[in-house]
Amino acid sequence: MGNEKSALNGLKIDEQPVEITDFWIHYMAYMNGHNIQNISVFVSEPSLHYNANFGSPSPLEKAAKNLMLYRHPCILKYVSSWSKGSKFFLATEQVKPLIQSIENQSTLQICMGLYNILRALVFLHEKAYISHNNLCESSIYVTLEGCWKLGGLECLCKFKDLTSFYLQRIRKYRYEKAISSNEDTIFISKNFKTIDVYAFGVLAEDILKLKDPADVPSLLEFKQFCKENLQNPDPSLRTELSHVLQHPFFTHDFMKIYAFLDELPLKNSQEKEIFFRTLIKKLKIFPENIIAEQLGRLLLSRMVLLDITAQEQLLPFILKPKDGNDKTSSNLFSISTFKVYLVPKLLQMFCIRDVSIRLVLLSHFNSFVYTFQDDELKSQILPELLVGIKDTNDHLVSATLKALADIVPILGAATVIGGKRGKLFTDGRPNKLKDNNEIDNSINIAQFTIPMSIQKIIDLPERPSPDGGEDKKEITSSIIEEEYTWSDWDIQETGDILKILQPSKKISQSQSKSNDISIPNSTLKITTDMVLNKNKNKTTELKLTKKSSILSDISELDIKNSKLIDSIKEEYNYFTDMEPVIKKTQILHVQQPQIIKSVFDVTVLNELGTVEENNGWEEDLSDWETEDSQEVKN
């Protein structure tokens, strides 16, 4: 059916009707808005046959007006109504007729359903002073949560307006079996409540006649009570419905729990504390599917979630499904039951923008997050969590971030974080170092792999260096100390530098053939300084420069809108700038001395490798000249 010019925006009505009556056609529908809301739509058409004696307005219009005026938790919830052309539409909460589901109802569910209908009738009688006049199975509906709701308010009439003529006029549209044979006598006593009392007795007897008396306490006694008292031919002998609520059939343990939860706002703190401390032990007596279906709505109500005692004594056992293999678990619901009955309720609760409710749900989020389907997490839970991280409440933001972390293993970081991602961190752990012993061994191995030429230079310094003349023990101990104090990825760096210091085979062979030590002391000092100082400074410098280039602004940490590096194709080598630049050492070759013809014919190599001819006595002669000149003066 179309939805043009409807009173509800985004309304979509199913083509297949749920039921067809003389007054209307019942359809399932939903409103596609911010949150999809399932509803029921009743459509009245002129082609539907109902006697003009019913009067104006039409039965559906009258029912809609009464639903709008008389609101009660146990009466069908009114959503909207409107006319379109010759048709009239009534939208209510999503329900289905009791007739279609009564066969699947357990005795306990029927007991609770009748209790709800009783409460609705008591409200009409004692608060609104109205008679329903058409109580039967066709006027009762069942919600998705299993709650019975009273409908069929098209025959409703106030006590002051109720007359014999009115009852006679609508008699054709009432359930014939629920009409007392001597109904006219009620006008003598003016006790109009007895009309619905008699109808309730007939309803209860019809529904419970095939049920086992052992299913619910006092069931057999209640059947007799309905037959002998509620259906008594004398209206004056019928018990008022408010007193029927006190019958043992409605006051056993399960019904006491249900009634207390339903009337929780009326209880004081002490009563609630005593109730919640013993509730789990009482609930474990009953089947979990009945508890979840009938009490799930109440156990997750706002009043329960915000109660301190319930948060400590009840919610941990409700919001955490029990493991099927654990028979001793104190948790109330199995995973299958939790998914069927509690997950739909939790999905609705995550749409509530109430910080207190959200914090309670987030505190138990890791216990039930795996019960959601992936599409439910992605399309319903995740968007609501992302709203939470934008809130000004730091506690809420912190709890929301923890919940997002619980979703990452299920949906993946790409779905939760969003945007482009890349490998921004590198694994700096040593590839072969597994424990401290291996680290110690690697350090010792690294020491012994130093080339022999360098070891020889360190062991036998020609003279103390200008910086203090470090000897072998000081240098080697400082290297070992640096390796122990640096972080684990610096150890790997040290090993790489030691490898760089190893001369190539070609140079080593040339040195082994030579009889000279060819590395001067100045080169040795530069080499050791680069090994010790480069490693100390580059670590800190690298952490500052590289990180600042990636995250220049803290606002870039926005989970959904972070700006990441567009092209990160290769893993960055953090050790590139740490490699010391060592120039090739000049190798000094000493030529074999030629045969000296005389004492004064000497060939000397200067420090630059050029040949110089000097008089071997030049320095001595200068000294002699100084002494001779002094003697002459004397």
pLDDT of the residue at 587: 61
Whole-number Å distance between alpha carbons of 2 and 84: 11
Q: Which two tokens stand for residue 440?
A: 């110690």
Give the pLDDT band (50/70/90) at residue 480.
very low
Q: In 10 A of CB 487, how many CB atoms? A: 10
Q: Who's near 9: CB < 8 A, 6+ residues apart?
A: 31, 33
Name the burial class of residue 87, with classes exposed (0-12), middle (13-18) and buried (19+) by CB atoms within 10 angstroms of its CB.
middle
Contact 182, 233 (CB under 8 A): yes
Query: Strands 95-97, 140-143: parallel, antiparallel or unpaired by DSSP?
Result: antiparallel
Q: Average pLDDT, stretch 332-351?
A: 92
Q: Who's near 292: CB < 8 A, 6+ residues apart?
A: 333, 337, 338, 340, 341, 342
pLDDT of 279 above 90: yes
pLDDT of the residue at 33: 67
pLDDT of 450 above 50: no
Helix (H, G, I), strand (E, B) or coil at 598: coil
- In the DSSP assignment, the letter for residue 588 is P
**Nearest one of 399, 391, 490 to 446, comparing CA atoms:** 490
Q: Which two tokens stand for residue 239?
A: 């018990």
**Nearest one of 259, 309, 254, 307 to 283, comparing CA atoms:** 254
Per DSSP, the residues of 352-410 read ---HHHHHHHHHTHHHHGGGS-HHHIIIIIHHHHHHHTTSS-HHHHHHHHHHHHHHHHH
Give the position of tokens 């926005």. 558
How confident is the model over 110-158, as pLDDT tens digits? 999 999 999 999 999 999 999 999 999 999 999 988 889 999 999 999 9
How confident is the model over 43-77, as pLDDT tens digits? 997 755 555 556 678 899 999 999 999 999 899 99
Q: Who's near 149: CB < 8 A, 6+ residues apart?
A: 74, 75, 76, 77, 93, 95, 116, 120, 140, 141, 142, 143
Distance of CA 130 to the CA centre of its chain: 48
- Label residue 480 left, alpha or beta by phi (over 0 means left) and psi (-120 to 50 means alpha): alpha
Alpha-carbon Rg for the chain in angstroms: 47
Provide the H-helix boundaries in 209-321: 219-225, 241-244, 253-262, 269-277, 279-283, 288-299, 302-305, 308-313, 315-318
Report the chain's terminal Cα–Cα distance, integer Å: 141
Helix (H, G, I), strand (E, B) or coil at 243: helix
How confident is the model over 220-273, as pLDDT tens digits? 999 999 999 999 999 989 999 999 999 999 999 999 999 999 889 889 999 999
Q: In 10 A of CB 608, how many CB atoms? A: 8
**Nearest one of 502, 87, 28, 104 to 290, comparing CA atoms:** 104
Give, for 149, the enclosing helix (H) or strand (E).
Answer: strand 148-150
Facing residues of 142 across strands?
96, 148
What are the angstrom distances between the C-alpha of 70 and each of 114, 121, 133?
Answer: 19, 11, 15
Give the pLDDT band (50/70/90) at residue 594.
low
Contact 30, 37 (CB under 8 A): yes
Whole-number Å distance between alpha carbons of 518 and 520: 6
Q: Who's near 96: CB < 8 A, 6+ residues apart?
A: 18, 40, 141, 142
